[in-house]
Amino acid sequence: MYLICLIIIIIDILLVKNYPKMRGKVGEYYVKKELKKLPTTYYTFNNVLIKDQDKTYQIDHIVISKYGIFVIETKFYYGYIIGDEYKEKWLRKKGKSKIYFHNPIYQNYGHIKALAKLLNISETNFVSIICFSHTTKLNIKAKNAIITKIASLNKNILKHQTEIIKDTEPIINTIKNNNIISHKELKKHIKQIHTITNNICPNCGHKLVKKRSKYGYFIGCSNYPNCHYIKKDK
């Protein structure tokens, strides 16, 4: 009896510890399922890992079309989300609890910058999308990014009907050729995310400072342009 109780306690601890990760994977699964409904002229990448110098970027979803490149960050949160694209922290309310988290638009902007550099194209070809679960209540101010729920994701993508990319094949092939599938690199990326402390750039050791782009404020290295590090969401 004691052994059974001990096993149950251990399982409960593991579930609580891994719940955020599991929730994120569930969100990515449903977004992937939804993106499959897009017309065949749209090409979708899921769970992409690319490298820029010594830094890696994990991107949940990328949709390539002649109407633009849609970069999607999935946040499978529950509760009431309050945010502003120009503020570093957003608020999630669930019952009586209040949890602050990093602005995902900043995070996605880092992904867009890395992709634009990799593909050697302008950032104007990209559309930033932050996708939440259908149960989330949203109160977010954003002009330079699309904030949506999974059910409206494809609708927001298909709204873009102005052709801005003539040939998508080179873009698709470049991402395919640079998508890291090595388990070793993935572990290194996870470790990299958790090494940012005391506002010090993990790449070069210089101070991290708040900067502003057309997508809003983000945290970048003060050693730019020698260092292109952008702080990611934890």
Whether 158 shows a pLDDT value over 50: the answer reads yes
Q: Is residue 215 part of a domain?
A: no
232 is a domain residue: no
Instruction: Give the domain CATH number at 35.
Output: 3.40.1350
Are 201 and 193 contacting, i.e. CB atoms less than 8 angstroms apart? no
pLDDT number for residue 199: 64
pLDDT of residue 22: 52
The more confidently predicted of residues 82 and 52 is: 82
Answer yes or no: is pLDDT of 3 > 70: no
> Does 132 fall in a domain?
yes
192 belongs to a structural domain: no
**What mean pLDDT, rounded, does the chain reach?**
81
Question: In the chain, how many domains are there?
Answer: 1
3-state secondary structure (DSSP) of residue 66: coil
pLDDT at 91: 92
Task: Give the pLDDT band (50/70/90) at residue 13.
Answer: very low
More confident residue, 204 or 11: 204
Cα distance between residue 188 and residue 136, in whole Å: 32
From the DSSP assignment, how many helices (H) and strands (E) are in the chain?
5, 11
One-letter identity of residue 90: W
Among 26-40, 94-108, 146-160, 185-199, which stretch is predicted with the lowest mean pLDDT? 185-199
pLDDT of residue 9: 41
pLDDT, tens only, 60-110: 999 999 999 999 999 988 889 999 999 988 999 988 888 888 899 999 999
| Structural domain contains residue 194 | no
Q: Which of 10-19, 74-83, 150-159, 198-207 has the lowest mean pLDDT?
A: 10-19
Identify whether 217 is part of a domain: no
Q: What is the side-by-side strand order in the sheet with 97-102?
A: 97-102, 89-94, 80-84, 137-141
Quick check: 40 pLDDT over 90?
yes
Instruction: With respect to residue 219, please indicate whether it lies within any of the assigned structural domains.
Output: no
For residue 4, tell me if it sits in a domain: no
Domain containing 105 equals 21-182
Q: Which whole-number Å values give the CA distances from 106 to 101, 120, 133, in the listed order?
A: 12, 21, 19
**pLDDT given at position 122:** 96
* Res 18 pLDDT > 60: no
- Other beta carbons less than 10 A from residue 8's beta carbon: 10
